[in-house]
Amino acid sequence: MSYVKFEAPKEVIDKALEALETARDTGKVKKGTNEVTKAVERGKAVLVLIGSDITPPEIVMHLPMICDEKNIPYLYAPKEDIGEAVGIHVSTAAGCIVEEGKAKDLVADVAEKLKGLKK
């Protein structure tokens, strides 16, 4: 099985990062591969951002499969941007939104755009 990265347009990535930041301030987010994996497995994640520049890629390789299995939208973004959006001053391999807060519309918009791109 080959590992294929799903490329989203920059404006969709920027909107997803904005949603992550807004949810951090008004809702609830998870950061790091372990926390994000648990949130996805439990079906609590509503949007997942995966580091596009993680080495080795095996660290986050399982996330797209479990996101697809649970029907949770995901996309790739630079790990530094994800870290910044979740409010830590270091890069992180993954981040997800668990409670949207005021990011509900942003999350819905990103999810809709991702759905259209993946077909």
pLDDT in tens, 40-85: 999 999 999 999 999 999 999 999 999 999 999 999 999 999 999 9
Cα separation of 104 and 81, whole Å?
20
- Token digits for 58? 């095996």
Domains defined for the chain, CATH in brackets = 10-118 (3.30.1330.30)
Q: How many CB atoms lie within 10 A of CB 50?
A: 26
93 close to 54: Cβ distance less than 8 angstroms? yes
Polymer length of the chain: 119
Cα separation of 109 and 112, whole Å?
5
Q: Tell if the pTM clears 0.85, that is, is over it.
A: yes
Residue 25's SS3 state is: helix
pLDDT in tens, 17-50: 999 999 999 999 999 999 999 999 999 999 999 9
Residue 68's SS3 state is: helix
